[in-house]
Amino acid sequence: SQQGEEDPQALSIQEGENATMNCSYKTSINNLQWYRQNSGRGLVHLILIRSNEREKHSGRLRVTLDTSKKSSSLLITASRAADTASYFCATDATSGTYKYIFGTGTRLKVLA
Amino acid sequence: EAQVTQNPRYLITVTGKKLTVTCSQNMNHEYMSWYRQDPGLGLRQIYYSMNVEVTDKGDVPEGYKVSRKEKRNFPLILESPSPNQTSLYFCASRPLAGGPDEQYFGPGTRLTVT
């Protein structure tokens, strides 16, 4: 399987704390994206980082990318109860196909 | 409103009874894709389409068929559903096959095969 992996699988934190989740992938990529999913509903795009970028910010989100280690991290600062959701990374490979590979996801629970 | 729609949203069927899940997008996107989501496995790509009449296999294509006769529609066909195809299915689209664009997801179809 080409599927990426995320860790931790589940994370529980207090409101106001920071949440960090990591993603590893297997092939060379064009870009990496992070998505959010609220309990079995459709996914919502959060942020995209290109393969030639190392860090990107969007509001309370900070994404890093290390292509040498084939890994990325998503940091959510000052978390809120409304951030409770599952978070997935996704990559599209440079292999000449147009496949899209998702990670297995991190379930984040933010306690009020 | 720009959106991806799927129908039906919920479906319970029996083994072997052919079914089709429809997907439609109104954003003139070239790339469309189907995923299944199972607990602990995240989303796995079934098939994708780069444009009209151009489709290719994702990671888990066995037991599924697709067609792309019009740009806006990308139906998923299960010719002979089996219980291991019980899953949550998502359709998605993006503007181009390549390029730094996000995917837009439909609301999902929960399929149960008994």
Residues of A in contact with B98 (CB under 8 A): 30, 92, 98
Of A1, A42, A103, the CB nearest to B105: A42
- Tens-digit pLDDT profile for residues B45-76: 999 999 999 999 999 999 999 999 999 999 99
Task: Return the minimum-mean-pLDDT range out of A1-5, A14-18, B96-100, B105-109.
Answer: A1-5
Q: What angle do CA B70, B76, B77 make, to 5 degrees?
A: 115
The shares of helix, strand and coil residues in chain B, as percent rounded to the nearest 5, are 5, 50, 45
**How many Cβ atoms from other residues are within 10 Å of residue B28's Cβ?**
10
Interface of A with B in 26-45 (CB under 8 A): 30-31, 33, 40-45
